[in-house]
DNA sequence: ATAGGGTTAG
């Protein structure tokens, strides 16, 4: 792995900068140790007579950008221009890159005007930089427009431009991986050929989205073309196989785990890699171990853990956290704790994340006192808990019946605020109030929060209260809350509608439920989920209307919504949840 | 040689 880690060690500040063109009287080489050195150097250079060449200035600006000091780079450029340094295209490209990273696409575009003003020509790099900026700032349509603009200006595309575009397509909110694949296919007969970066980009996206089979097809294609998978390709595939079949919403409902049998395929791939002597590293071990943990095979994960140590790989903090999480998922928190101490013994310093896993674990098995002890331990080591730490504790306190302690903790957060409570903190309390105490108390507390603590409720907050009202058969109040949330421009989601549908079905108002489904859910473009299906069909069957149930099934089916065997199974598992 | 694409895990 030395090979891969090397570039990371070669940080910009380790480089030496040579001012061959205009040496200073005393020395011709500067050591740039950090951002301060770079800034100081530019300040000295702008006052030299004659001025050093623009190439030297641009080199240093480039280093500053690599250190991610975008605003600094821009300020220094302004100083340079003021002192009479004449920029060229490369300098402008750096500026555009800075503005893109700062999310200021308006300024990035204004640099284009500057380029023309200074008599320079934008080149393929200029456009690639702009395109990347538009992609990451979620303006994919404008990015495609850049592409057309380049065609009009007859600027030749190169592999980096295509790589940028492919990545943009894959990651855009439209999730257009298919378009990216099409673009790749179109390139095959062209001058610029698809390369490893482009394939890896698409394979990674396909795997993340769970389209593991398509990713494999693409891998075969790249091999046929003589492009061989590297460590990134393998890690994407292994990650994809570990997560295959795991639906995010279900995973969260089932407290993080959901079974699939493709982890074994992931392991086969891993073994294949090792047999072939491919490069592999700690990250691949971590991905696979996490796959085992999420699929209820902590034992396998632990075996892998020992194996990696035998092979001379040093587990890192993430390795330990993954294993700890695995044990917490099956409620073996003491095992997680042992690992935690083992980690400290090897000289690793636990971070907030690893503490949070332990705290969450103790809360889940209702040993909140020990969770609080862990919090104390965090304070002792001068680690600052984050909002997840506190929210886990608040939830734990609520679930073990200590709602008043939970309120106390939230008050502390509110008054001494490091960190202050967020909307999730309050939602946890509201949910608990609805469940344990009374919905009236929850609503009163809700109002208090809005007026006294300028609480900004979200859709989830309303869902909690609406559900609370419905469970107490107070449909009118539920509808009032529903209207209130719409009035606040909060858009009800499928969870909101499922709550209402459930209430209508329970209140024998099935025709209203059907109208809600047709005119407020489907017509508004909201996708019904499995739960929606189940609520309605069950409701209709219970009311002795099997014909209507079939009609509704058909209605949903022809619109592309249909449950399969697995979804029914999941529905059964998730009963009682919305 | 100064500018632009994929950095995967909790």
Provide the 3-class DSSP secondary structure of residue A31: strand
Which of residues A122, A154, A177 is at a domain's end?
A122
Domain total for chain A? 2
Provide the pLDDT for residue A402.
83
Provide the pLDDT for residue A293.
94
Which of residues A122, A147, A164 is at a domain's end?
A122
Positions of chain B reached by protein Cβ under 7 A: 1-10
Q: Please count the other Cβ atoms lying within 10 Å of the Cβ belonging to residue A335.
A: 18
**Which parts of A488-545 fold into alpha helices (H)?**
494-506, 510-515, 530-542
What does chain A come to in residues?
Answer: 578
Cβ of A236 near strand B (distance < 7 A): yes
CA-atom Rg of chain A in angstroms: 29
First to last CA, chain A: 46
Sign of CA dihedral A490, A496, A500, A503: negative
Provide the pLDDT for residue A278.
78
**CATH code, domain carrying A42:** 1.25.40.10
Range of the domain at A551: 493-578
Cβ(A561)–Cβ(A524) below 8 Å? no
Helix axes A387-399, A352-364, angle to 10 degrees: 10
Whether A12 maps to a domain, the answer reads yes
Which of residues A80, A105, A122 is at a domain's end?
A122
Which residue in this structure is represented by tokens 């590293």?
A281
The CA distance from A205 to A236, in Å, is: 8
Helix (H) / strand (E) element for A380: namely helix A368-380
Q: How far is CA A207 from CA A177, A198, A232, A235, A275, in A?
A: 11, 14, 12, 10, 23
The CA distance from A522 to A234, in Å, is: 40
The CA distance from A321 to A569, in Å, is: 31
| Encoded tokens for A283 | 């990250």
Distance in Å from B6's C1' to A196's CA comes to 8
Q: From the alpha carbon of A163, which nucleotide's C1' atom is closest? A: B5
Who's near A223: CB < 8 A, 6+ residues apart? A229
Whether A223 maps to a domain, the answer reads no
Which residue in this structure is represented by tokens 């393929």?
A124
Distance in Å from B3's C1' to A326's CA comes to 45
Q: List the single protein residue with the shortest CA to C1' distance from B7.
A: A232
Whether A28 maps to a domain, the answer reads yes
Of chain A residues 338-367, which have a beta carbon within 7 Å of strand B? 351, 353-354
The CA distance from A476 to A470, in Å, is: 9
pLDDT in 10s for each residue of chain A, 578 residues:
222 222 222 233 333 344 444 443 333 355 677 899 999 999 999 999 899 999 999 999 999 999 999 999 999 999 999 999 999 999 999 999 999 999 999 999 999 999 999 999 999 999 999 999 999 988 988 998 998 899 899 999 999 999 999 999 998 876 689 999 999 999 888 889 999 999 999 999 999 988 999 999 999 999 999 999 999 999 999 999 998 765 544 444 443 444 456 899 999 999 988 888 777 789 999 999 999 999 999 999 999 999 999 988 899 999 999 999 999 999 999 999 999 999 999 999 999 999 999 999 999 999 999 999 999 999 999 999 999 999 999 999 999 988 999 999 999 999 988 789 999 999 999 999 999 878 999 999 999 999 999 899 999 999 999 999 999 999 999 999 999 999 999 999 999 999 999 999 999 999 999 999 999 999 988 888 888 888 999 999 899 998 999 899 888 888 877 665 445 544 444 443 33
Q: From the alpha carbon of A61, which nucleotide's C1' atom is closest? A: B2
Whether A576 maps to a domain, the answer reads yes
Whether A420 maps to a domain, the answer reads no
Whether A565 maps to a domain, the answer reads yes
Whether A539 maps to a domain, the answer reads yes
Cβ of A278 near strand B (distance < 7 A): no
**Which parts of A174-262 fold into alpha helices (H)?**
177-187, 196-208, 212-224, 231-243, 248-253
Whether A53 maps to a domain, the answer reads yes
The CA distance from A324 to A239, in Å, is: 19
In A326-390, which ranges are E strands? none
Provide the pLDDT for residue A378.
94
The CA distance from A322 to A475, in Å, is: 44
């Amino acid at each position: 792995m030395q090979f891969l880690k090397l570039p990371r060690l070669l940080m910009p500040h380790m480089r030496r900068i040579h001012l061959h063109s205009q040496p200073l009287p005393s020395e011709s080489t500067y050591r740039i140790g950090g951002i301060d050195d770079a800034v100081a150097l530019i300040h000295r250079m702008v006052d030299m007579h004659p001025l050093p060449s623009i190439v030297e200035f641009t080199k240093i600006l480039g280093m500053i950008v690599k250190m991610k000091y975008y605003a600094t780079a821009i300020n220094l450029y302004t100083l340079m221009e003021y002192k009479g340094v004449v920029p060229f295209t490369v300098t402008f490209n750096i500026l555009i890159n800075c503005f893109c990273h700062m999310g200021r696409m308006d300024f990035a575009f204004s640099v284009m005007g500057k380029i023309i003003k200074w008599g320079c020509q934008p080149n393929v790099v200029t456009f690639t930089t702009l395109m990347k900026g538009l992609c990451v700032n979620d303006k994919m349509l404008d990015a495609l427009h850049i592409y057309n603009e380049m065609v009009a200006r007859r600027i030749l595309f190169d592999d980096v431009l295509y790589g940028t575009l492919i990545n943009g397509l894959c990651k855009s909110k439209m999730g257009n991986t298919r378009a990216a694949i099409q673009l790749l296919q179109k390139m095959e007969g062209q001058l610029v050929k698809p390369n490893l970066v482009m394939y890896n980009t698409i394979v990674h996206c396909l795997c993340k989205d769970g389209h593991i089979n398509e990713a494999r097809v693409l891998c075969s294609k790249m091999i046929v073309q003589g492009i061989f998978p590297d460590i990134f390709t393998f890690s994407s595939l292994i990650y994809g196989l570990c997560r295959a079949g795991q639906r995010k919403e279900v995973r969260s409902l089932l407290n993080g785990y959901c079974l699939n049998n493709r982890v074994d395929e992931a392991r086969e791939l891993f073994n294949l890699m090792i047999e072939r002597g491919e490069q592999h590293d700690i990250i691949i071990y971590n991905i696979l171990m996490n796959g085992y943990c999420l699929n209820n095979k902590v034992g396998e994960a632990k075996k892998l853990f020992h194996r990696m140590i035998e092979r001379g790989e040093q587990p890192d903090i993430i390795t330990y956290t993954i294993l700890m999480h695995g044990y917490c998922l099956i409620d073996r928190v003491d095992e997680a704790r042992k690992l935690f101490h083992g980690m400290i013994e090897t000289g690793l310093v636990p971070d907030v994340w690893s503490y949070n896993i332990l705290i969450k674990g103790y809360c889940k098995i209702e040993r909140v006192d020990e969770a609080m002890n862990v919090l104390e331990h965090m304070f002792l080591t001068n680690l600052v808990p984050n909002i997840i730490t506190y929210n886990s504790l608040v939830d734990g306190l609520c679930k073990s019946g200590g709602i008043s302690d939970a309120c106390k903790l939230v008050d502390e957060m509110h008054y001494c605020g490091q960190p202050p409570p967020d909307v999730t903190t309050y939602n946890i309390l509201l949910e608990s109030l609805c469940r344990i105490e009374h919905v009236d108390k929850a609503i009163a507390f809700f109002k208090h929060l809005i007026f006294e603590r300028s609480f900004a409720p979200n859709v989830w907050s309303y869902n909690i209260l609406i559900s609370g009202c419905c469970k107490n058969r107070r449909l009118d109040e539920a509808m009032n809350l529903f209207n209130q949330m719409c009035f606040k421009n909060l858009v009800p989601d499928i969870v909101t509608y499922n709550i209402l549908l459930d209430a209508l079905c329970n209140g024998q108002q099935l025709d209203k439920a059907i109208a809600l489904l047709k005119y407020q859910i489907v017509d508004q473009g909201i996708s019904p989920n499995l739960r929606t299906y189940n609520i309605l069909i069950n409701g209709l069957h219970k009311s002795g209307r099997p014909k209507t149930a079939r009609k509704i099934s058909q209605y949903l089916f022809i619109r592309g919504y249909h449950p399969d065997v697995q979804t029914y199974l999941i529905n059964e598992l998730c009963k009682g949840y919305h």
